[in-house]
Structure 1
């Protein structure tokens, strides 16, 4: 069973280069400045697993189905990479059918893209299928936040390839081809979340049986605006096209947190998000949802009770309410097998509280017209380190490494994946009622 052991060491992947493509016509969002590219990204197994699950669950499927997709993504990310500091695919990949290898490469490419976009400062995400209802090819994801705050959204295409003929030049060509076909036609288009002001195409690949990976990027090249007398440089966008500075487009926030709370096993929250968005009927379960509060790596988190406690025992509730330690021996037995690690999605308490109270306000408002934007916080990263392209140094947006006594990954929207050890004790219990908010 040793061949099935999950990898544990951080991986570092360097950006091999970029190509920029000028958008013809009027400059979109002249005040927007694309962030400097990261020369490399370093990520933990937990961060990659979380990113793959985050991107795999950005779809309009029932929340219950998304939890099964989550479990599949988490298992693939931990088992199908080899141990070691360098990026290397597991020999197990050769035992999979061609379609399964292609599927895994696609998921891995999406996960790497999500890690890289977070490293660039973008916080909020949605599937880009909303750009087109036809079969016309389009990129995979829309992102908001960071430098795009107050200007619009950016489009990102993810490409993953694991084949014997993968090369740096090949991934550069693939990223460029995907950009020209699936990103460029939509620059300047108006999405439900704002105007598309910039685009990326990220190609990621590796050759089975070798150490190393190829990361290439194509993005929009922004020319300088031409000033004309009597004509304003930046025309006023249509109503709702651009979220005010400091806020998140409502649809983008709901899509991100629908995925987040489904990942957390807070299915009723995801269903209320669907109702608010007019996609489904009022949920059958209208009662309160219990969230457990605990501290991890110096941060307060909330997680649904059913996600944090795999052992259903009335005595555990008694001990939890009194702040006693978890039953360590039972936890250790639970995490002993390679396919049964401790995994719990949680959310930083401030981010969870802000969104849940905002969702309550939307529920009270009903299914009438939603506001264009929501005021929600963003934070820093853990489990992900980005290289600064200006001087080649590693710079970190987090306050500590997710190592030593802690193994977790934290994203800018507040979602975290905790991989162990489990928290020793609870610090509180909070309940969210759809129409009364978080107590």
Structure 2
């Protein structure tokens, strides 16, 4: 698996797509959770190319499948985004899109629709994600993703259906019709139902479309209507709001399984899978090495596994290789000079406090043998960078031109060109001992 991706040909400016339609659909009971208030719909979504590429990869890997398959999906999805999205200030498909077969066009549209949905849900304040396949059998239509955090924290989860359409017939009207149709068919039946990740208390259907050969895109939203509260006191919730702070451990594991797969940390994916289905310890139970780097005013941890074993197959597991400061700086410096950790590539990393908090919690669960894992984990969240609501793509990017990256609310980030590692260290995490040093 590789955490490095080429994004040199992607467009370099942010694109803003306005919300063309927003419909609300009645539901009984309403609200499902009496104290839940849905965030206001974002009137527009602004995103950079790095954010779109990262979101497409995030959604392509948010499923319970073997890591090797997910790594292949990640690579193919990102390669398509690079080749098929034009370099311009408005969303437009390249001429190469016309050379795809019909099924390939449909697949690419679906991937972009899922990525846009992930960006939109993050922009609304939702943080943690999981695949919604758990809601029904494979034969029944169901929405794509479940989200936790933000306004739904303590109430349950919200359901999100993603739809993408890159057809000659794509218009604001047809995209809006798809958003409504998908809500009625794949979201509404599952609102007020149970899932392994929490009670579904609200639902969304996000449809994104563009007509090939034209400039611009359409974005439509359908969601559950919440009735105005009555004057009398609302009844108590069906389930008491969980005591304590943090996020459900179940959805945190699902989110970070995808995140660490994108980072190339396959050992951590294996440990998450072991917690889900206990059995023999993962074959590779040794420590995981991270590069600690400073970027745009924050510290991040990036997995060294995807690149270093291939470059230094004889030594990368030896203690002296990591403990010798001369080797440490020589190796990382060489990777930088060769463009393997910078230049024209992007690197999936995680904000240090988010990575440390999750892996510390993972160590505790591994030490306990997977039994009695905590119901919730205290994990930090962040304001998005590289995308956002309206005409702003999130928090300021320091001095502007030097940094080009996307940071999601759960701490996952995709760092793009230029990546200047002036300061770096190595940190190692042991499954049973935690971070060392």
Q: Same fold (TM over 0.5)?
A: yes
Once residues 262 and 65 of structure 2 are traced to their aligned partners in structure 1, the CA distance between those partners, rounded to angstroms, is 13
Deviations 1:70-96 (A, max 9, x none): 111221112211111011001100111
Distance 1:309 1:141, change over 3 A: same
Corresponding residue SS for 1:428 = strand
Aligned to 1:344: 347
Is this contact kept in 2: 1:153–1:194, CA < 8 A?
A: yes
Distance 1:48 1:423, change over 3 A: same
Aligned to 1:423: 420
Aligned to 1:391: none
Q: Which one of 233, 236, 259 corresponds to residue 234 of structure 1?
A: 236
Answering whether residue 43 of structure 2 is matched by residue 36 of structure 1, we say no
Once residues 106 and 243 of structure 1 are traced to their aligned partners in structure 2, the CA distance between those partners, rounded to angstroms, is 35
Once the two structures are TM-superposed, the CA of residue 330 in structure 1 deviates from its matched residue by 4.0
Aligned to 1:381: 384
Unaligned runs of 5+ in 1: 388-393
Q: Which one of 315, 323, 333 corresponds to residue 326 of structure 1?
A: 333
Once residues 352 and 365 of structure 1 are traced to their aligned partners in structure 2, the CA distance between those partners, rounded to angstroms, is 20
Once residues 300 and 329 of structure 1 are traced to their aligned partners in structure 2, the CA distance between those partners, rounded to angstroms, is 17
Once the two structures are TM-superposed, the CA of residue 343 in structure 1 deviates from its matched residue by 2.0
Is this contact kept in 2: 1:34–1:147, CA < 8 A?
A: yes
Is this contact kept in 1: 2:48–2:387, CA < 8 A?
A: yes
Aligned to 2:11: 7
Distance 1:245 1:320, change over 3 A: farther
Once the two structures are TM-superposed, the CA of residue 305 in structure 1 deviates from its matched residue by 1.2
Distance 1:308 1:329, change over 3 A: closer
Aligned to 1:248: 247
Aligned to 2:295: 296
Is this contact kept in 2: 1:156–1:199, CA < 8 A?
A: yes
Deviations 1:35-75 (A, max 9, x none): 11111111111110000000000111122322222111221
| TM-score, normalisation: structure 2 | 0.90
Of the structure 1 ranges 201-210 and 415-424, higher mean CA displacement relative to structure 2 is found in 415-424
Once the two structures are TM-superposed, the CA of residue 219 in structure 1 deviates from its matched residue by 0.4
Once the two structures are TM-superposed, the CA of residue 282 in structure 1 deviates from its matched residue by 1.9
Aligned to 2:116: 112
Is this contact kept in 1: 2:62–2:130, CA < 8 A?
A: yes
Distance 1:404 1:371, change over 3 A: same
Answering whether residue 161 of structure 2 is matched by residue 178 of structure 1, we say no
Once the two structures are TM-superposed, the CA of residue 326 in structure 1 deviates from its matched residue by 2.6
Of the structure 1 ranges 29-38 and 279-288, higher mean CA displacement relative to structure 2 is found in 279-288
Corresponding residue SS for 1:191 = coil
Aligned to 2:357: 354
Unaligned runs of 5+ in 2: 1-7
| TM-score, normalisation: structure 1 | 0.89
Answering whether residue 365 of structure 2 is matched by residue 366 of structure 1, we say no
Distance 1:103 1:134, change over 3 A: closer
Q: Which one of 207, 210, 219 corresponds to residue 223 of structure 2?
A: 219
How many matched pairs? 421
Corresponding residue SS for 2:23 = strand
1:178-197 alignment to 2 at 5 Å? 178-197=182-201
Once residues 254 and 208 of structure 1 are traced to their aligned partners in structure 2, the CA distance between those partners, rounded to angstroms, is 38
Is this contact kept in 1: 2:278–2:370, CA < 8 A?
A: no
Of the structure 1 ranges 217-226 and 120-129, higher mean CA displacement relative to structure 2 is found in 217-226
* RMSD of aligned Cα (Å): 2.5
Of the structure 1 ranges 125-134 and 42-51, higher mean CA displacement relative to structure 2 is found in 125-134
Answering whether residue 152 of structure 2 is matched by residue 148 of structure 1, we say yes
Once residues 340 and 229 of structure 2 are traced to their aligned partners in structure 1, the CA distance between those partners, rounded to angstroms, is 62
Is this contact kept in 1: 2:386–2:394, CA < 8 A?
A: no
Aligned to 2:401: 404
Aligned to 1:131: 135
Once residues 334 and 93 of structure 1 are traced to their aligned partners in structure 2, the CA distance between those partners, rounded to angstroms, is 30
Once residues 111 and 372 of structure 2 are traced to their aligned partners in structure 1, the CA distance between those partners, rounded to angstroms, is 35
Once the two structures are TM-superposed, the CA of residue 425 in structure 1 deviates from its matched residue by 3.7
Once residues 116 and 192 of structure 2 are traced to their aligned partners in structure 1, the CA distance between those partners, rounded to angstroms, is 25
Q: Which one of 146, 163, 166 corresponds to residue 162 of structure 1?
A: 166
Answering whether residue 67 of structure 2 is matched by residue 63 of structure 1, we say yes
Q: Which one of 13, 20, 23 corresponds to residue 24 of structure 2?
A: 20
Distance 1:428 1:169, change over 3 A: same
